[in-house]
Amino acid sequence: MITYDFLNDSINIIALHRVLSDVDYDNRVAPVSIMEMAERDLVEFIKYSKNNGYEFISIDDVLSLDVGTNNKCIVLTFDDGYVDFYDVVFPIIKEHRIPACLYFTSGYPDSKCIHSFGILEDHVRSLPSLKFSIANKDYSLRAETKSEKREAIYFLSNLVEELCDGNDSGKLLEILKLIGVDDEIINRRYSLNWRQVIELSNNELVTIGSHTVTHPRLSQLKSQNVEFELLESKRKLENVLGAEVKHFAYPYGDHNERVKAMVRKVGYSSAVTVISRDVCNIDRFALPRHWLDSDFAVI
């Protein structure tokens, strides 16, 4: 029987990225630890939690609770804004009548930020090998077996991260083209579109939070750039959704006291990290979260 030893008898904020259909999860060539969960396993977690006396609450509810009391609460949160939140997660939370918070990267629908890992996996999936040149350097990768494909995808992901200048989507597209990725794959929708985000926002079970515009490591940016990421994402989401956006998630969990102070200053009510510990003596601008994936690995 599966148990979730990280759950405590107070407030548990759970962090997820992607929840794939069981078929899509089982067909993954290069699964990413802590980034993905199968639909069946999310349903199992929900059932386990309910059967063991946990109540699912919203991120708004967290800020009104007294920490340390025997609340036995769970908050589901999802980062980035992958399209499977709409296709897979949304039907699940509606069926089970539980709230969830989606921290949305506002640049994704407008291609200001790009999900490169999914693009690279789709590119490698049907290829027996890859040959390309970047910056006068030739690359040759085998990709016949599943393990070779997996290694090729990880190699390409690391190469792209090394070559791309921060979160410059134009540079990223240039590199993907040089690797040989075609337009059909690049233009495939990996993120939610604005119509879907609006529909989600209009449902009482879904809270939309901000996750910046381009998903940078905020502590490494100048203050004016941090302010842009915080304010522009909030402004864009509020303009599109017609509702206040009060909650924020630090990309990669990356933050420091300067960034935390700016999050507070621009008008957010809370911010979550990827620090896995119990919620105690709440600092609402550094709320901890437990990561959950289909390996049930908690970091």
- Quick: pLDDT tens for 61-111: 988 876 555 579 999 999 999 999 999 999 999 999 999 999 999 999 988
Q: How far apart are CA 272 and CA 59, in angstroms?
A: 10
| CATH 3.30.499.10 correct for 11-110+190-291 | no
Which of 59-68, 87-96, 153-162, 206-215 shows the lowest mean pLDDT across its residues?
59-68
**What is the sign, positive or negative, of the torsion defined by CA atoms of 211, 213, 214, 219?**
negative
Q: Which of the pair, 164 or 247, is modelled with greater confidence?
A: 247
Which of 158-167, 198-207, 235-244, 248-257 shows the lowest mean pLDDT across its residues?
158-167
Which residue, 297, 290, 261, is CA-closest to 14? Answer: 290
pLDDT at site 35: 81
Domain with CATH 3.20.20.370 in the chain: 11-110+190-291
Q: Which residues of 211-240 are buried (b: 16+ CB within 10 A; e: fewer)?
A: bbbbbbebeebeeeebebbbbbbbebbeeb
Portion of the chain with pLDDT greater than 90, in percent? 74
The overall pTM is greater than 0.85: yes
Q: How confident is the model at residue 42 (pLDDT cuts 50, 70, 90)?
A: very high
Mean of per-residue pLDDT scores for the chain: 91
Instruction: Kindly tell me if the per-residue pLDDT of 52 is higher than 90.
Output: yes
Task: Please say whether the beta carbons of 210 and 268 come within 8 A.
Answer: yes
